[in-house]
Amino acid sequence: MIELLRTNDLVVISFVESLMRDADIACFVADQNMSIMEGSLGVLARRVMVDADEADAARKLLADAGIEAEIKRD
């Protein structure tokens, strides 16, 4: 799996998960339980991960949704 985006914005994460689910692209939100350890301060960003085979389709989906600025660049 590769990192598609990294953010502290829970709304963006929820939106991305919804987009991926509707497009039938498997994704995984990493580090979401780390907020418990950090005290919910929002210091540690969550990462949205996708399979490398679906990364291009996922990036295009985010660009089409108007949130390409959130996409992690290599």
The pLDDT of residue 60 is 95
- Per-residue pLDDT tens digits for 23-57: 999 999 998 777 666 665 667 888 999 999 999 99
For all residues of the chain together, what is the average pLDDT?
87
Task: Report the share of the chain in percent with pLDDT over 70.
Answer: 86
**pLDDT tier at 10, thresholds 50, 70, 90:** confident
CA 61 vs CA 39, 44, 67: distances in Å? 33, 25, 9
The range of the structural domain enclosing residue 45 comes to 2-70
CA atoms within 13 Å, Cβ hemisphere of 55: 13
> What was the pLDDT predicted at 40?
59
| Domain count for the chain | 1
For residue 28 the two structure tokens come to 């995984």
Would the pLDDT of 8 be above 70?
yes
Q: What is the CATH number of the domain that holds 53?
A: 3.30.70.790
